Amino acid sequence: MKKILGMVFFLTVLAGMAGCGQKNTANTTEQTDTQTEKTLEEHFFSAEQDEQNYNVMEEYSEDEEYPELAAFLTEYYQIPEEECKETRYYYNYTDLNEDGTDEIVAVTIGDTTSDNRGDAALILRPGENGQFEVLGAFSQIHTPVMISEDMENDWHTIIFPIYGGGQESGFISAVYREETGYELDEESFVREEPKVSGDRILSDNLINDMDTDNYLTIAPRDTESQN
């Protein structure tokens, strides 16, 4: 009788152990599923937060002729007279140091100012009598130009796309220095567009502008070629 009771007790213990194993397995599976769901939720929440954290405003260039600016660009770049009717310029106003007064970012596209790596850009402070102070001068850049919310030395960082002519494609930042004005920070080069908030200016489609004859030139074009 003891043997039978012992066997029953042994079988009961085995059954109990088997039940515990199944319960532990179920608990482990449930914990794994819960952890996976939590990880996915955190991933999607993080991606959603990234999207919400970056706010970019697109801005097209000014469409009003600016004769004083055109004259300054002609003199600054020494553009030959015969090129002036074919040399395009794009500009936007933007307050780069938050002092309540707009600076100008101007890009000039033509035989004198452009090559297969890009075009010329100037950061200007308008003065009196059609004069401009040059705060930064760049070559071989592209548009659109990003005016980042990030600031250095109390001036907004400017981000230019660069590509073409066999160079590595990417983005490079210009930062303001008290002694020299805006200069490219070579160490800032990245292949992917930086995830920053700000204003993306000069966002015009340059190819479409050519096709639709919708652009400004250093010297006014003939009436029949204008819109």
Tens of pLDDT along 131-174? 999 999 999 999 999 999 999 999 999 999 999 999 999 999 99
The pLDDT of residue 179 is 93
Distance CA 175, CA 158 (A): 7
In a domain, 222, yes or no: no
Element of type H or E holding 176: strand 167-177
The pLDDT of residue 12 is 43
In a domain, 40, yes or no: no
In a domain, 195, yes or no: yes
In a domain, 120, yes or no: yes
Amino acid at 207: I
In a domain, 83, yes or no: yes
In a domain, 4, yes or no: no
In a domain, 85, yes or no: yes
pLDDT reading at 113 higher than 50 = yes
Residues 6+ apart with CB under 8 A from 107: 89, 90, 91, 119, 120, 121, 141, 143, 145, 202
Q: Which structural domain, as residue segments, surrounds residue 68? A: 56-217
In a domain, 23, yes or no: no
pLDDT digit string, tens, across residues 17-72: 445 454 455 555 555 556 655 554 554 444 455 555 789 999 999 999 999 999 99
Counted domains in the chain: 1
pLDDT digit string, tens, across residues 94-104: 999 999 999 99
C-alpha distance from residue 153 to each of 10, 156, 157 (Å): 80, 8, 10
C-beta neighbour count of 44 within 10 angstroms: 10
pLDDT band at residue 82, thresholds of 50, 70 and 90? very high
Locus of tokens 């010329």: 120
pLDDT digit string, tens, across residues 84-94: 999 999 999 99
Question: For the whole prediction, is pTM greater than 0.85?
Answer: no
Contact call for residues 124 and 137 (beta carbons, < 8 A): no
| Percent residues over pLDDT 90 in the chain | 71
Higher pLDDT, 27 or 202: 202
